[in-house]
Structure 1
Amino acid sequence: MFFNPYPNPILYNTTQGNITSRTSSPTITSQFQLQKLQLQLQLQQQQLQLQLPLQLQLQSQLQLQQQLQLQSQLQLQLQLQLQLQLQLQLQLLQITTVTVTVTSTTPPPLPPPSPLPPPSPPPPTYNPSSLKIPTYMYYYYYYYYYYYYYYYYYYYYYHYYHSYSSPLLLLLLSLKVQFHSRPSFLTILLSPLFYITDIPHSSII
């Protein structure tokens, strides 16, 4: 076997000529272990802090699921109640129809007689004064005729004004129209003025 000249855990340093110990003091090891424990505690606390919001979320989700389950149960109960009510109503209707068919032996009463139509109005009497045309109709046709009269000559002069563009021709044409249909002397004199400036006749006359 190999002989160990240094049975104690001491190393001999040949270069420096001194003896160094390999073992450490118990105070250093205890401090190191304390630091390790503190670090482990800090890590555990951090993990707990991280897990807290997740736990809260899970709890809220569970609460929501429970609420939804309760709502679904309530809805089912309401539907069952409605179905029961409908069945009861149908049964009651069937019972009433049967009783009506059994007990209704008398025929229904006859409807009341229809009322007589109203009397026809008397025939109109002949009134010769109603056949007369009122005076405002004469004025109406009078202005109606002159309105179309001026309307026709407005477009007549307007056409020749744009085709020839000469006031003298307009005067000649107005005189020509005078011989054909005899308009008033005022319209013939003023026609070049308001056909060139595009003023309607009704605003002047």
Structure 2
Amino acid sequence: MIGLTLIEDSEETEMAYVKGDYVPVATLSTRQIASTWTTHKDLPSGRFRLRAYSPYGGTNWQKEWSVNKDQDLEKLAKRVAGDLKRATVEIAEQYAIAAEKCRREEQKWQEQLDRMRIAEDEKLRSESLSKSTEALEHLIADWGKAKAIERFFGELAQQVELAPEHDREHLRGRVEAARALMKARDVLEILKGWQTPEELYEAKKKAKPKY
């Protein structure tokens, strides 16, 4: 494909302000010019150019032909057609170079995306492993605490049964009150909520935006 544009050149023209409008100074008498003020404006010149160009991204081929007022348009058209036919080879070469450059840039971008995905994946796996390990350490600590509390109250209950009979009932109530106050977390429920590194990784992966 080849794009075509017909262009009319403009030219800077001295203009005078006459009766609410701007008029070319060249059309006025010296007397009229003396009684007003002038400025310069770009006006259509009546001179045309035909511009042909390559519409493909990454290419820069273009060529222009002047279109004169009394020119034989049939001869001009034949010359333009011949020039355009010869230009197709150059345009095709530029397009091939641009397409290859675009392909390389796309490949480079895809490789960069792949590196970003790999780095992000490694980061997610590292974070998942760290978080899962930390949660497991808390679970172990809670389990140790629960066992220590249970062992403490078990031994305390045994000591209460060895106390004088008149104090046992009172001491039993104190033990139950203390047990209620120091009730340990249910480690099995905690274990149900604990996530393995792979489970955390999959959850994080689903929540991350796609590249």
TM bin, normalised by shorter chain, reads 0.3 to 0.5
Q: TM-score, normalised by structure 1?
A: 0.37
- Which structure is richer in relative contact order (CA contacts within 8 A, separation 6 or more)? 2
Q: TM-score, normalised by structure 2?
A: 0.36
Structure showing the higher strand proportion among its residues = 2
The structure with the larger Rg is 1
Structure showing the higher helix proportion among its residues = 1
